[in-house]
């Protein structure tokens, strides 16, 4: 019998997999066999560590050496130096994790220091395809406790008292939802998990399912016990192949161990789970559309009430929770209500996972206590804006959310504070924008998304959002008048008030919130016909400053449409009627003689 003396953890999340982490695993195994250490060193494929910008990531324990951006060529060096000789390969380490030549514990680095991991507790720690590792870290203990020591009412009470609110965006109290479903007459009931995650830029649900699928399975079984359901469905988009695959492995393992199936823990409680694949329509993240899709029909929403807790899947009482919400449940059961209530703000307890993207150094996945300021997330955890640019705004909540301008960077983020400043939590996409981002263009981007994704069932959303997009296009083309701006506002408010489902009702939010904080940019587009950030192509002109131009003809040779002409050694000019505004001349010029205005 031999002791495994070192673990090499390789990130197997989607981010690191796409940058080649699968190859690293095979290469590590080959190299370890070469030096004859395959038995004493274990290679583990884990879920996401969060620091996706620096992937693929490899952590070697017991030293806790955090290697970033590892290529298959680096593997031999790590094995020869670190594993065989015990010398950490310093030049491959994540530079933030080295201080005075010593490795810092990962939790002391800026990226992890401000984080608190509940939903992501096991992500990047365990092998998601090995149920034993989940059980070793207290997995399924909460389910065991619930089934053997508690009544369904007690479970619901705990969830209610914890104040846990839906992490999918709306922030509805989870305990209350469960209570509604539990109070329905006995009979067939269902537990559903919303893993549709349609917001552009959000990937926390995917990461939880990839890194810790058992936590969701365990929580769904607990929910089943609480409301009296024996069947659950996980609705997940087919665009998440790694997550789907690991989830299926996890379900199979749980069935094999009898943690799903009949008479779990020797009790009367039976629970089974099935995966339902979605085709990736944004509207199917809306709960009524999601259920219609599970039933095998076209994914379209229906009016509420009746709420799913009363009439859900196949007309039976159903609860639907988001992946991240479920990932919190076992921890609340194990650690208690008081523990959870001490985390976060008064009205929003616990933590929230954000997918950090856009103009930020540390793109990745972060989990912070509710009430953390945007400044901490952007500047400390995110590492600030690259290239010394200025922070302009952060977009939260995807196509349903809004913008937080730089002036509100110290706002403490929770459900209510975001609503009060005209945005919303949403599922947790957080897109950072710098001074080069045009807010009208951002609003247009999200509206294009909603127009594409509108299911077409109700007129306000189907026709209204398209009209809004037309006005926005007019604005960015420099053809709009102030009257158009008034119409845009009127449309936005009418759609908000009249659309059938959440998708339509929130579709105008990106426009409304950018108007609230950046109306001057809209006016600059309309009145001055200028895009202050220099993004909207139709309002841009590239010009050559005659005083700076040395007449080298470099720009003219780069121009794909031959719009630049002139004589060598005298200033060149751009023919605006030919220019397609590609910017090739500007990047070619060595004298910075070409400007955009």
> Where along the sequence are the contacts to other proteins (CB under 8 A)?
1-7, 9, 40, 42, 61-64, 83-87, 105-107, 125-126, 132-133, 135-138, 140-141, 144-145, 148, 257-259, 264-266
> Would you tell me how many other CB atoms lie within 10 Å of the CB of residue 200?
14
The nearest distance, CB 136 to other proteins, in angstroms, is: 4
Q: Cβ 286 to other proteins, closest distance in Å?
A: 36
Q: Which is nearer to other proteins, 148 or 494 (CB)?
A: 148
**Least distance (Å) between residue 125 CB and other proteins:** 6
Cα torsion through 426, 120, 210, 194, rounded to 10: -40
Is the Cβ–Cβ distance between 59 and 3 less than 8 Å? no
Quick one: 131 or 158, whose CB is closer to other proteins? Answer: 131
By C-beta, is 90 or 479 nearer to other proteins? 90
CB of 86 to other proteins, least distance (A): 4
Question: Which lies closer to other proteins via its Cβ, residue 81 or residue 379?
Answer: 81
Q: How far is the CB of 411 from other proteins (least distance, A)?
A: 31
Smallest distance from other proteins to CB 106, Å: 5
Q: Which is nearer to other proteins, 85 or 590 (CB)?
A: 85
DSSP 8-class letter at 389: P
CB of 137 or CB of 588, closer to other proteins? 137
Candidates 508, 483, 510; CA nearest to 498 is 508
Q: How far is the CA of 425 from the CAs of 117, 284, 303, 591, in angstroms?
A: 18, 19, 23, 45
- Looking at the Cβ atoms of 95 and 108, the one nearer to other proteins is 108
Q: How many CB atoms lie within 10 A of CB 456?
A: 10
Between 64 and 571, CB nearer to other proteins: 64
Cα(581)–Cα(561) distance, rounded to whole angstroms?
A: 10
- 332: its two tokens: 């609340």
> Residue 383's closest CA among 23, 149, 190, 109?
109
Cα→Cα distances 82→99, 458, 558, Å: 18, 61, 48
Instruction: Report the 10 Å Cβ neighbour count for 411.
Output: 18
Q: How far is the CB of 25 from other proteins (least distance, A)?
A: 17
Number of residues assigned to the chain: 597
- Phi–psi pair at 136, nearest 5 degrees: -60, -35
- The nearest distance, CB 3 to other proteins, in angstroms, is 4
Nearer to other proteins, 334 or 490 (CB): 334
Q: Where are the alpha helices (DSSP H) in 150-190?
A: 152-162, 174-183
Six token digits for residue 343: 């985390």
Q: Minimum distance from CB of 228 to other proteins (Å)?
A: 21
Taking a C-beta distance cutoff of 8 angstroms, is the pair 556, 538 a contact? Answer: no
Measuring CA to CA, which residue among 354, 376, 371 is closest to residue 363?
Answer: 354
**Inter-residue contact 38 to 92 (CB < 8 Å):** no
Residue 390 phi, psi dihedral angles, 5° rounding: -95, 140
């Amino acid at each position: 019998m031999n002791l495994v003396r070192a673990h090499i953890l390789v990130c197997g999340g989607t981010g690191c997999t796409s940058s080649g982490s699968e190859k690293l695993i095979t290469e590590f195994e080959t190299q370890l066999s070469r030096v004859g250490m395959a038995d004493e060193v274990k290679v583990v494929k884990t879920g996401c560590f969060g620091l996706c910008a620096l992937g693929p990531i490899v952590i070697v324990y017991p030293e806790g050496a955090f290697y970033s951006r590892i290529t298959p060529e680096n593997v031999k060096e790590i094995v020869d130096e670190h594993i065989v000789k015990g010398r950490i390969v310093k030049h491959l380490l994540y530079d933030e994790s080295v201080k005075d030549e010593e490795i810092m514990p990962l939790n002391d680095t800026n990226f992890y220091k401000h984080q608190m991991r509940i939903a992501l507790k096991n992500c990047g720690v365990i092998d998601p395809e090995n149920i034993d590792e989940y059980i070793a870290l207290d997995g399924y203990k909460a389910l065991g406790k619930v089934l053997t020591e508690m009544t369904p009412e007690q479970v619901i009470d705990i969830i209610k008292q914890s104040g846990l609110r839906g992490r999918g965006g709306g922030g509805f109290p989870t305990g209350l939802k469960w209570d509604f479903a539990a109070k329905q007459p006995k009979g067939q009931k269902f537990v559903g998990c919303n893993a549709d995650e349609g917001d552009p830029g959000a990937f926390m649900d995917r990461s939880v399912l990839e890194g810790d699928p058992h936590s969701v399975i365990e929580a769904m079984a607990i929910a089943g016990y609480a409301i009296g359901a024996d069947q659950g469905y996980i609705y997940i988009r087919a665009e998440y192949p790694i997550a789907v695959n690991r989830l299926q492995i996890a379900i199979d393992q749980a069935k094999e161990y009898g943690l799903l199936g009949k008479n779990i823990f020797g009790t009367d409680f039976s629970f089974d789970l099935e995966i339902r694949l979605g085709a990736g329509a944004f509207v199917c993240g809306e709960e009524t559309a999601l259920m219609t899709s599970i039933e095998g029909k076209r994914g379209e929403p229906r009016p509420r009430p009746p709420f799913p807790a009363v009439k859900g899947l196949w007309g039976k009482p159903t609860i639907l929770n988001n992946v991240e919400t479920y990932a919190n449940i076992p921890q609340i059961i194990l650690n208690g209500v008081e523990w959870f209530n001490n985390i976060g703000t008064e009205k929003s307890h616990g933590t929230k996972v954000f997918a950090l993207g856009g103009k930020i150094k540390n793109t990745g996945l972060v989990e912070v206590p509710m009430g953390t300021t945007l400044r901490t997330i952007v500047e400390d955890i995110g590492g600030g804006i690259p290239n010394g640019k200025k922070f302009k705004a952060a977009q939260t909540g995807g196509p349903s959310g809004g913008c937080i301008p730089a002036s509100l960077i110290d706002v403490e983020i929770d459900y209510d504070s975001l609503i009060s400043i005209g945005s919303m939590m949403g599922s947790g996409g957080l897109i950072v924008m710098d001074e080069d981002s045009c807010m009208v263009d951002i609003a247009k981007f999200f509206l294009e998304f909603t127009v594409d994704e509108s299911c077409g069932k109700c007129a306000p959303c189907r026709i209204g959002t398209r009209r809004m997009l037309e006005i926005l296009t007019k604005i960015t083309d420099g053809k709009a008048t102030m009257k158009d701006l008034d119409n845009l506002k009127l449309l936005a408010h009418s759609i908000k008030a009249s659309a059938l489902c959440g998708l339509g009702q929130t579709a105008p939010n990106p426009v409304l919130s950018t108007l609230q904080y950046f109306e001057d940019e809209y006016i600059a587009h309309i009145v001055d016909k200028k895009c202050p950030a220099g993004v909207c192509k139709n309002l841009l002109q590239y010009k050559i400053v005659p005083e700076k131009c040395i007449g080298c003809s470099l720009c003219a040779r780069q121009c794909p449409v031959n719009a630049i002409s002139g004589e060598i050694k005298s200033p060149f000019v751009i023919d605006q009627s030919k220019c397609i505004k590609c910017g090739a001349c500007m990047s070619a010029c060595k004298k910075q003689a070409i400007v955009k205005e």
